[in-house]
């Protein structure tokens, strides 16, 4: 048994099973970091878009103009802007119908916004399950490699007359590398999952709050319309 305890030598001298475990954990770690970086960019973009749209929405501008800006692409149809666009478009379509009342108009707009919100949240949560899986299973995969390596080490010791630390140490060291790689893959994934899940949850609350506030505005607009029509009819008569 090789007594060189350098990291590269330990990896190269490991058994086929332990090497396969290490390769799997390395690939998983690379994929995990790719998801972490991409998800960080996506969530920062979503939070920034929500801040920007809320500032525009509550600036007192005309809602129809804001809707036109989204349709033209002047305002990106992301997150809150997409929810607004869905609700306002549905409100405009339903408001042209005379057979439905104000509550039905608002409820239809709310359903349209809810669909848009669910699609946005699904987009933000995409690949979060992968991070959770990596974080929960990688230590066990690494532990499997360690157990397998230690088992092989003790089997090799059965062929010698006397066991010394110099004979045992390399086999145990190469086996423990698998556990270390499992932890290396799992720890960033767990941290990222918890952070991103919290961020998505906060964005979802912001979307819910905006939907309620916007629904109240649409409710007032839907009530004003029949009152205005009734007043116009009274004046003409």
81: in domain = yes
143: in domain = yes
157: in domain = yes
Q: In terms of residue numbers, what domain contains 123?
A: 7-236
d(CA 233, CA 70) in angstroms, rounded, equals 35
Asked if residue 203 has pLDDT above 70, the reply is yes
Mean pLDDT of 88-114: 86
1: in domain = no
Task: Write down the pLDDT at residue 162.
Answer: 64
Task: Write down the pLDDT at residue 220.
Answer: 85
* Most confident residue range from 73-82, 145-154, 176-185: 176-185
Using pLDDT thresholds of 50, 70 and 90, give the confidence band for residue 6.
low
Using pLDDT thresholds of 50, 70 and 90, give the confidence band for residue 63.
confident
- The chain-wide mean pLDDT, for the chain, equals 83
88: in domain = yes
2: in domain = no
d(CA 168, CA 195) in angstroms, rounded, equals 41
d(CA 198, CA 130) in angstroms, rounded, equals 16
47: in domain = yes
Using pLDDT thresholds of 50, 70 and 90, give the confidence band for residue 230.
very low
Task: Write down the pLDDT at residue 229.
Answer: 43
How much is the pTM? 0.80
Q: 4-13, 70-79, 84-93, 190-199: which has the minimum mean pLDDT?
A: 4-13
As a three-state string, the secondary structure of 34-55 is HHHHHHHHHHHHHHHHHHHHHH
Using pLDDT thresholds of 50, 70 and 90, give the confidence band for residue 193.
very high
d(CA 102, CA 228) in angstroms, rounded, equals 13
d(CA 206, CA 47) in angstroms, rounded, equals 10
Total of domains in the chain = 1
d(CA 76, CA 80) in angstroms, rounded, equals 10
107: in domain = yes
Structural contact between residues 175 and 10, judged by C-beta atoms closer than 8 angstroms: no
Task: Write down the pLDDT at residue 94.
Answer: 86
Structural contact between residues 14 and 150, judged by C-beta atoms closer than 8 angstroms: no
């Amino acid at each position: 048994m090789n007594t060189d305890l350098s990291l590269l030598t330990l990896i190269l001298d490991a058994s086929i099973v332990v090497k396969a475990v290490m390769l799997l954990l390395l690939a998983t770690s690379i994929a995990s970091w790719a998801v972490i970086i991409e998800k960080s960019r996506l969530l920062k973009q979503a939070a920034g878009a929500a801040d920007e749209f809320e500032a525009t929405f509550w600036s007192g501008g005309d809602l129809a103009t804001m809707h036109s800006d989204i349709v033209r692409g002047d305002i990106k149809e992301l997150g809150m802007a997409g929810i607004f666009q869905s609700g306002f478009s549905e409100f405009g379509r339903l408001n042209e119908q005379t057979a439905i009342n104000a509550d039905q108009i608002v409820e239809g707009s709310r359903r349209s916004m809810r669909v848009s919100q669910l699609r946005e949240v699904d987009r933000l949560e995409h690949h979060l399950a992968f991070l959770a899986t990596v974080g929960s299973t990688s230590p066990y995969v690494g532990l499997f490699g360690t157990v397998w390596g230690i088992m092989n080490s003790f089997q090799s010791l059965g062929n010698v007359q006397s066991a010394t630390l110099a004979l045992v140490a390399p086999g145990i060291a190469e086996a423990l590398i698998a556990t270390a790689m499992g932890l290396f893959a799992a720890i960033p994934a767990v941290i990222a999952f918890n952070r991103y899940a919290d961020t998505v949850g906060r964005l979802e609350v912001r979307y819910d709050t905006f939907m309620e506030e916007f629904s109240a505005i649409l409710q007032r607009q839907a009530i004003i319309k029949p009152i205005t029509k009734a007043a116009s009819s009274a004046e003409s008569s």
